[in-house]
Structure 1
Amino acid sequence: MEVIFLLIAISLVLAVTFLILFFKAMKGGQFDDDYTPSVRILFDNHKKTTKKDQPTKKPKSYE
């Protein structure tokens, strides 16, 4: 039974350690994306058209 308590304690210490290391890496900019902004100009940007952007049709006159 003492082994289970020991394993739970060790797993909690490891989990807290990994959580602290993760937050330290986040704060240090480890996961910042430096590559994508430099190649963003190479991609085509397709603007989605809405009803505002589409030209309106004039109604037909029946004269």
Structure 2
Amino acid sequence: MVDDLFRYGPGDYKLAVDLITSGSLSVKELITGRVKFEDAEQAFKDVHAAKGIKMIIEGPQ
């Protein structure tokens, strides 16, 4: 079952935020592009098609 393969545990989100804000972990390398708000739907499709990892959606303005 897919649900049994991966789960976040209690405190995982706080730990991740703490690691990022302290500089112990960099996530900038995961950002593969930036798109305008109007292009958000295509960004989701691109990530789903393995054309990127994380897209920054800017806006709306």
**Category of TM-score, reference length = shorter chain:** under 0.3
* TM, length-normalised to structure 1: 0.25
Q: Which has the higher strand share?
A: 2
Higher Cα radius of gyration: 1
Q: Which has the higher helix share?
A: 1
Relative contact order (C-alpha < 8 Å, sep 6+): which is higher? 2
* TM, length-normalised to structure 2: 0.25
